Amino acid sequence: MAVTIRLVVHDTHHCGLFPQTDWLDTLTRVGFEPDRITLESDEFEVGYYQIFVGRKP
């Protein structure tokens, strides 16, 4: 039976050090298929959050 290990990294930015396009372009350059997802949450602070997802093809 094969075992697949996946690494999940969480990173939170509060002041937007780089524009969103820079993050998406960088994810693409290093081989990910990037996506941006908007989530509504009340778990931490009520509001909408932009989440970047990078899938390895």
Domains of the chain, by residue range, sit at: 20-55
pLDDT at 44: 67
Sign for the CA dihedral angle at 35, 36, 37, 41 comes to positive
pLDDT at position 48? 77
> Could you read off the pLDDT of 22-37 as tens digits, one per residue?
989 999 999 999 998 8
Phi, psi of 40 (to 5 degrees): -100, 130
> What would the mean pLDDT of 6-13 be, rounded to a whole number?
71
| Predicted model pTM | 0.60
Angle among Cα 28, 10, 54 to the nearest 5 degrees reads 20
pLDDT confidence of residue 9: 72
